[in-house]
Structure 1
Amino acid sequence: MANDPRTATHSGGNATFRSLFRLREYRAVYLATLINWLGDYLSRAAVTVLVYHKSQSVLLSAASFAVGFLPWIVGPLLSAIAERYPYRRVMIVADLTRMALIALLLVPHMPVPLMLLILLLAGLAAPPAQAARSALLPELVGRERLPLATALQQTASQTAQVVGYLAGATLAVALTPRIALGLDVLTFLFSALLVASGVRPRPATNPDSGRTHLLRETGEGFRLVFSHPLLRSIVTVVFTVTVFAIVPEGLAAAWAVEGTPGHSSSNLDQGLIMAAGPFGFVLGGILFSRLVPAHRRARLVPYLAVSMPLLLVPSIFGPPAPFVAALVMLSGLTQGALLPTLNANFTLAVPDGYRARAFGVVGSGVQVTQFTAVIVTGLLADHFRLPLVVGLWSIGGAVVMLLIVLSWPRQGLPEPAAGAGRMER
């Protein structure tokens, strides 16, 4: 019988890295996730180079990167599918599907429009796979270890982003983009094998007898997330963090050039700014999860939420790139402390049978807000000085966060959303 994440402790005392990695199923999912993300970021960087080489078009190259956001528009619907089947099977099928589709990009002389279509189709497998993985995690580690496990998953994502982008771009420029794509194909295969061999089968949380219409099931996920006070507060903070956290990464190239005009060091400055956030996130996630007791983490959420955009406000004065990178790193450190805590509390508050749908709502919202924030601030930066745009954007973020946390629910560890399990089907 699957462990109940609200009561299971796996008899290990306090949660530690050692106690987590003693769990065979968690090790398999963690390694599969890390390998999966590495391949994903590796191929994103390589595909942009490949498309640019074939088309000599900056627009098409950017489109090959942006197409990864599009599947998340229907992410909640796709995530509802993950609830209908065993999570393990969803993850395996999604990996094998992406493996087969990415392998098609290795075919020589493929037209760019067809490449973009393949990328779009491959991206459709990401929302259900990610939702299934997030929903399965509490069943693997139990309530006590969930915050630490969540922090490890999210810091692994940030690490994979830095390494994958760097390796993908390097392989694409120094050798050929197809080597990076070939490695991506292998990562999906290894990920599927790890999950198949390391995770035991479990029944679907929404079996045939409980199914209705897919759109209705998707709507139930939205209603659960936005009708429950704690869940609604958590997703509001997460979306707001995303709106203000993605800006340094999205504008790093222009920011570096504007900060060091006419100097070859602008590429290094861009790399510093882009890597600073993920580096800070990794550091903050690990330190906060290990050094701050669980009962204090929830109390610190409002303070962390306000300080995240506040740390970027000094950029309004147009400091040099290394100072900007330091600000971004501190902001990332705060995110690393904040988001895993919110993620774990969100997971604990969502009842069985709704987790994949709930995570689909959050995942899609994060992707859409990221895309929107980069587009809006990019348009503003075309008309005003970039440091001014980022500084004022961050001031606005601090004000919005302050208004949100003033109504933050004052409660301890979350309980499952009341009445969700009785929602009319």
Structure 2
Amino acid sequence: MEATVSDERPAAEGPATFRDVFAQAEFRALFAANALSWVGDYLAKAAVTVLVYRETQSVALSAAAFAASYLPWLIGGPVLAAVAERHRYRQVMVTCDLVRMALMVLVALPGMPPWAVLALIFAATLANPPSQAARSAVTPQILPGDRLVVGLSIISSTGQAAQVVGYLLGAAIAAVSPAAALLINAATFAVSAALVRFGLRDRPPAMTAAHRSHLLRETGQGFRIVFGQPLLRAIAVLVFSASLFSIVPEGLAAAWAAEQSGGDLDNGAAQAIIMAANPVGYILGGLMIGRLLGPARRLALMRPLAVLAPAVLVPALFDPSPLVVALLAAACGFAVAGLIPVANGLFVRALPDAYRARAFGVMASGTQIVQGAAVLVTGALAEHFTIPDVVGGWSVAGVLLVLAAALTWPRPETVDAALEAAARANSADPSVPAGLRPHVPARAAGERARQRHAVT
């Protein structure tokens, strides 16, 4: 779902290596900036949930503090992502980092009421959609050919590792001083802004004034391509359904750990292992499934793994210890790791190049919205029922929902037709400048699409 924009350098022949990717100075700067921002983000999420829970003793408000970082996608994620195409990518990323730095400093001020904390977190995360869209668009300009594929894989894996490090550090530091954790997050944004400003070239916007239409019209086209095409719609529904349940242990971790009585772990350690377990499982799943299974087997397992993701959380009904909760969350992350990369690859192949930036906004917004809604709803339910009952019951409902989504998956001929149509669109779409248009002969487009599908 990354915007595909080639730069002036020819694509390298043959498979790229990690050394090829990190040989690009601009990529090194972008990689370091992303890693720092991600670590800071997850550190802040852990700290904010602790801060609000300490102030209010409310599970619902603690969950709301966690979910506040997702809600901006609801009110304008796709539009904000589209705005990034109209401006210089380096400028967009630097501005967003500086805005988030300033707002996180305000959150860390002593005596800040919970409602103000929620409002500031919400405002800070309004900068996420344009920042992520700009990064998505500039990465292909830095990495040509197969280096882009390897670079995106590195970025994705680093994001999961950053989540683990951020949650562990956040829970540990927040147990002593949530404000200190938030100030560290602000510092990561400052360093990120400096790395981008001085490490990336200043490129012109991808969309000139002559090619612009109404911003809402451009955004609406992104929604129509995702939900109007059967295969893209099926992928979106499956991914959104799985995401609706995998986030819940993280969102309720602070309150879940605090409600555990006795045991060998204190609250901070219990929260840390619960919040970090899902991304750890994701990293292990991505490595093992990617290395041990062939393309055809991974595609065949995509839907069963989507059902498995909520199913492994159902034993939460039996009120397990934090260590067992962490194992369940890790198993959920493992299953999601077998679903998301395959679904993402299929999505990209079925999507015309000219819509990738807008489709990124739609998919990213949908994922953020369903995850934020899941944490809000389960947090509210936990005010009236025990957390194990909420998580277990929510997961039972998840099994039924994802099973329904998996059973309505398009037939193979529908998948082939979608890949073929995308290949034709990418070879002839007049909205793509001639210099950036891939050359795919019409008679070869269908065969190429079938070959790609066969190795998914």
* TM-score, with structure 1 as normaliser: 0.82
Q: CA deviation at 1:214?
A: 1.6
Aligned residue in 2 for 1:91: 93
Aligned residue in 2 for 1:217: 218
Partner amino acid for 1:308? A
Instruction: Note the residue ranges of structure 1 that are not aligned, 5 or more in a row.
Output: none
**How far, CA to CA, are the matches of 1:51 and 1:370 in structure 2?**
19
Q: CA deviation at 1:182?
A: 2.6
Residues 398 and 56 of structure 1, relative CA distance in 2, 3 Å threshold: closer
Partner of 2:159, secondary structure, is helix
Kindly provide the CA deviation profile for residues 323-344 of structure 1, in whole angstroms up to 9, marking residues without a partner as x: 4433332331222232133334
Aligned residue in 1 for 2:133: 131
- 8 Å Cα contact 2:63-2:252 kept in structure 1: no
Aligned residue in 2 for 1:365: 366
Q: CA deviation at 1:115?
A: 4.2
Q: CA deviation at 1:161?
A: 2.1
Partner amino acid for 1:201? D
Residues 187 and 144 of structure 1, relative CA distance in 2, 3 Å threshold: same
Aligned residue in 1 for 2:120: 118
Matched, 1:343 2:347: no
Aligned residue in 2 for 1:78: 80
Aligned residue in 2 for 1:154: 156
Aligned residue in 2 for 1:399: 403
- 8 Å Cα contact 1:237-1:404 kept in structure 2: no
Q: CA deviation at 1:125?
A: 0.6
Aligned residue in 2 for 1:275: 276
**How far, CA to CA, are the matches of 1:79 and 1:34 in structure 2?**
20
Residues 320 and 391 of structure 1, relative CA distance in 2, 3 Å threshold: farther
**How far, CA to CA, are the matches of 2:203 and 2:352 in structure 1?**
17
Residues 105 and 282 of structure 1, relative CA distance in 2, 3 Å threshold: same
What is the Cα-based RMSD across aligned positions, in Å?
A: 3.7
**How far, CA to CA, are the matches of 1:48 and 1:398 in structure 2?**
29
Instruction: Note the residue ranges of structure 2 that are not aligned, 5 or more in a row.
Output: 432-456
Residues 304 and 24 of structure 1, relative CA distance in 2, 3 Å threshold: farther
- 8 Å Cα contact 2:50-2:178 kept in structure 1: yes
Q: CA deviation at 1:38?
A: 1.0
Residues 178 and 417 of structure 1, relative CA distance in 2, 3 Å threshold: farther
Residues 282 and 395 of structure 1, relative CA distance in 2, 3 Å threshold: same
Partner of 1:212, secondary structure, is coil
**How far, CA to CA, are the matches of 1:237 and 1:46 in structure 2?**
31
After alignment, is 24-33 or 75-84 more displaced? 24-33
- 8 Å Cα contact 2:29-2:199 kept in structure 1: yes
Residues 119 and 276 of structure 1, relative CA distance in 2, 3 Å threshold: closer
Equivalenced residues, count: 419
Displacement over 6 Å in runs of 4+:
none
Residues 181 and 261 of structure 1, relative CA distance in 2, 3 Å threshold: closer
Partner amino acid for 1:92? V
Partner amino acid for 1:363? A
Residues 173 and 328 of structure 1, relative CA distance in 2, 3 Å threshold: closer
Q: CA deviation at 1:304?
A: 3.5
Q: Percent identity?
A: 44
Residues 237 and 402 of structure 1, relative CA distance in 2, 3 Å threshold: closer
Residues 140 and 352 of structure 1, relative CA distance in 2, 3 Å threshold: farther
Kindly provide the CA deviation profile for residues 335-377 of structure 1, in whole angstroms up to 9, marking residues without a partner as x: 2232133334434544455333221111111111112223444
**How far, CA to CA, are the matches of 2:396 and 2:195 in structure 1?**
46
Kindly provide the CA deviation profile for residues 96-124 of structure 1, in whole angstroms up to 9, marking residues without a partner as x: 22223323445555555444433322221
After alignment, is 322-331 or 153-162 more displaced? 322-331
Partner of 1:13, secondary structure, is coil
Q: CA deviation at 1:50?
A: 4.5
**How far, CA to CA, are the matches of 2:321 and 2:49 in structure 1?**
29
- 8 Å Cα contact 1:317-1:387 kept in structure 2: no
- 8 Å Cα contact 1:247-1:373 kept in structure 2: yes
Q: CA deviation at 1:150?
A: 3.4
Please list, as runs of the form range in 1=range in 2, the aligned pairs for 1:15-414 lying within 5 A after superposition: 15-51=16-52, 55-56=55-56, 58=58, 61-73=62-74, 74-105=76-107, 107=109, 109-110=111-112, 113-142=115-144, 144-174=146-176, 176-252=177-253, 261=261, 263=263, 265=265, 267=267, 268-290=269-291, 297-298=298-299, 300-313=301-314, 321-378=322-379, 382-383=384-385, 385-386=389-390, 388-405=392-409, 407=411, 409-411=414-416
Partner of 2:69, secondary structure, is coil
